[in-house]
Copies of this chain bind each other. A is one copy, B any other.
Amino acid sequence: MSDKRELPIGIFDSGMGGLTVLKAIASLLPAENLLYLGDTARLPYGTKGRDTIVRYTLLAAGKLVEIGVKMLVVACNTATSAALPVLQKEFAPIPVLGVIGPGARAACQASKNGHIAVIATQATVQGGAYQHAIDAINPGAKVTARACTLLVSLAEEGWTEGPIARAVLARYLDDIFHDPDAPDTLLLGCTHFPLFLNSLREVVGEETRIVDSASATAEDVAKRLDELGILRAGGETGKRDFLTTDNPERFTRVGGHFLGVAMNRNQARLVDL
């Protein structure tokens, strides 16, 4: 009889951005086995329509379930926004967690003046998931959401600092933050965006709190596994396996930026969905 606790946590993203979430989970729960799938062949999800995102997310999550996981983490804001309830229904009783709820909670905890700016992909902003999640936690909060489409490609090009990154961020954000009623908190509603932390700091100022979903999601994962009695015990570090739907060379090269440590070409395996 296999021990459920030994099964990996399946972490799914449209590409490499979700590696920031994997990193937070690995840091909080080093003993867990982690299986990551980046659907790089179809990336980005953020400019696609809802039906297409749901279809692709079901395919990717289905692959992880087929391999065998004890929990699914949707480490992509766009996919969480479009498909979380569908995934929870489709794959029950496997628990499925997203990044929107934890991100909204982190932002509500950080904000003092009750005005939160959310930057995300076009699909996430249009879907309104962050606006709804923040409203559910703090109904009095004001939310200003903005789609920052170009940041995804800027991050993948590695241009996250310097004059071009600053000019792009200023173009997206200046009118929001140069306002007497400016938000005091900026929520990074896309897993690519933490790479812009230094540039964002220069554009929104030192006093603005900048939060993302990664740590809060890792806390949710730990809490849920504990509740279900399937935390993996033991001092040894768990396995980390990486699957990609396109070009493992590019996945590991760009992935290293998100993980904060260089990846070896052989760490990622190609899968077809």
Contacts and interface: CB of A to CB of B under 8 A. Distances in A.
7 nearest CB pairs, A to B: A49-B247, A153-B153, A52-B246, A41-B52, A49-B246, A164-B167, A48-B246
Interface residues of A, number: 25
Contact of A154 (B41, B42, B150, B250): B150
Interface stretch (A22-30, A155-163, A198-206, A227-235): A155-163
B156 A167 contact: no
B250 A49 contact: yes
A144 interface: no
Interface string A138-176: 000000000001101110110100011001100100000
User: What is the copy number of this chain in the assembly?
Assistant: 2
Nearest to A43: B47
Contacts of A245: 52
Nearest to A154: B150
A102 to B, nearest CB: 28
A42 B154 CA distance: 19
Main SS at interface, chain A: helix
Contact of A157 (B150, B156, B164, B250): B150
A79 to B, nearest CB: 14
A247 B150 CA distance: 19
Contacts of A249: 49
Given A41-B42, A246-B48, A246-B52, A153 B164 contact: no
A36 to B, nearest CB: 18
